[in-house]
Amino acid sequence: MFLAQERFLIKEEHVLSPDLEREIDRIFQMFSEEPMYAYLRENHDVLMYRIGISIQTAIERSARPDILTAKIFSQNGFLWEDLVKKTIRSRYSAQQLIIVKSGHPQADFIITDLPLPHSDIPQIVWNTNPTLRDWQMLDAYIESRTHQEEELL
pLDDT digits (tens, 9 = 90+) for 37-81: 888 878 887 888 778 777 776 676 566 556 788 888 888 777 888
The residue out of 63, 82, 115 marking a domain boundary is: 63
Instruction: For residue 14, give its domain range.
Output: 2-63
> Could you read off the pLDDT of 100-132 as tens digits, one per residue?
876 556 788 889 888 888 888 888 888 777 888
Question: Are 94 and 85 a contacting pair, CB within 8 Å?
Answer: no
Length of the chain: 153
Q: Are 141 and 88 in the same domain?
A: yes
Domain of 141, CATH number, reads: 3.40.50.2300
Q: Are 45 and 88 in the same domain?
A: no
Residue ranges of the alpha helices (H) in 37-103? Answer: 38-42, 44-63, 78-91
- The predicted pLDDT at position 28 comes to 83
Q: What is the DSSP letter of 92?
A: S
Tell me how many domains the chain contains. 2
Q: Are 142 and 81 in the same domain?
A: yes
Q: How many CB atoms lie within 10 A of CB 152?
A: 6
Question: Are 107 and 121 a contacting pair, CB within 8 Å?
Answer: yes
Q: Are 130 and 85 in the same domain?
A: yes
Q: What is the pTM for the complete model shown?
A: 0.52
